[in-house]
Structure formats: C-alpha cells, structure tokens
Amino acid sequence: MEEMISKVLIDQDTIKKRVSELGQQITNDYRGKELLVIGIFKGAVPFLADLIREIKIPLKYDFMAVSSYGSSAVSSGAGRSLKDLDTSVEDYHVLIVEDIVDTGLTLKYLKENLARRHPLSLKIATLLDKPDRRRVEISPDYCGFTIPNEFVVGYGLDYDEKFRNLPYIGVLKAEVYKK
C-alpha cells in the first residue's frame, strides 16, 4: 500500500494532537447539554472513535451511512441514504462527524435530512475540509485540517474501499485512481 502513496500529508501524531484539541473544544461547547454524535459510515469511524474518547462529557452516538462516491474517485453529487439512525434526534444537540467535506453536497443533504427531525441544534465536525472543491455553501463548525485539492486516503478515507486502515492522511498517486 505504501508504494501507492505519493506523500504523507498529515502524520499520525499531528492527527492525534488535533483530535484531542477538537475534543476539548467540543467538551467546552456542549457542557451541560444532551449531545448526540452521529458518525457517517464508513470513513468517519476512526475519527469518531478517537474524537469521542476526547470528549469529556456524557454523550450518545449513532451512525448513518450516506454515499455519493461508490467506487469512483469523484463524487456523483447525489446523496443516497444507505443506513438511517437508530436514535431519534429530538431533544438532543446533534454533532455530525464526517471524515471530509469536499463538494459539500452530501453534507447539505445530511443537514437538511436531520434538521427536519427537529434536533435542539445541529453542527458539523470534520477531520478534513477541502474548500476548493465546494459546490454548495456549507462550512464545518469544527475542522481538523483544511487541505488542498488532492486525492487523500487513510485514517478512514478510502479509494475503492482500500487504504482506510492507514494511520495517517496520504496523497494517493494519480496512476492508482486514473486507471
């Protein structure tokens, strides 16, 4: 796998430090509130797992699965629900945890979908933000890193379901995804 990575964009220690900082910020912002953290399958799982361990208040978490990529390297732009929540969002402050905000189309779909369910509040935490690719007006409330428009994998992010298990964020060599 390593030979398919052109460079390490964000190393494991830097990720760990930033996730800890985000956890402290979220702890402070939600102290005394009923927090429901919603992880977006599959990419956000490593980030969510590390982040909730850094949030030092009681919380609940659940998962949704939404897809706009399939096995493509480019978002189709059409959000598609694959798995819904098991928990109602009413009476909770909801924090959506996403691996990356790219075009923003999937996240816009998610926010609209969840807002219709009447949470007390609705915010977004993302590990990575790629604003150069944004196609709709949406911004994360908590952001780990703003990155350039490069094809990244690792720490939950994939190409064709591979590379999720890398402990860092790496740039995938173009010849891997431009076959």
Q: At what angle do helices 12-30 and 45-54 cross, to 10 degrees?
A: 60
Q: Any idea which residues carry the catalytic annotation?
A: 102
- What is the average pLDDT across 92-96? 98
**Pairing of the two strands 169-172 and 152-153:** antiparallel
The confidence band for 79, taking pLDDT boundaries of 50, 70 and 90, is: low
Nearest of 151, 126, 96 to residue 19 by alpha carbon: 126
Nearest of 47, 28, 27, 31 to residue 39 by alpha carbon: 47
Q: Which two tokens stand for residue 144?
A: 């780990």
CA distances from 81 to 41, 63, 66, 113, 161 (A): 11, 11, 5, 10, 18
- Pairwise CA distance, residues 106 & 16, whole Å: 26
**CATH architecture of residue range(s) 13-148:** 3-Layer(aba) Sandwich (3.40)
The b/e string for 141-177 (b: 16+ C-beta within 10 A; e otherwise) is ebbbbebeeebbbbbbbbbeeebbebebbbbbeeebe
pLDDT of residue 2: 86
- Domain range list for the chain: 13-148
The confidence band for 71, taking pLDDT boundaries of 50, 70 and 90, is: very low
The confidence band for 80, taking pLDDT boundaries of 50, 70 and 90, is: low
pTM: 0.90
Range from 2-16, 55-69, 138-152 carrying the lowest mean pLDDT? 55-69
- Pairwise CA distance, residues 102 & 75, whole Å: 9
- What is the average pLDDT across 67-94? 70
- Pairwise CA distance, residues 115 & 102, whole Å: 21
- Where in the chain does DSSP place strands (E)? 5-10, 35-41, 59-67, 80-83, 93-101, 121-129, 142-146, 152-153, 169-172
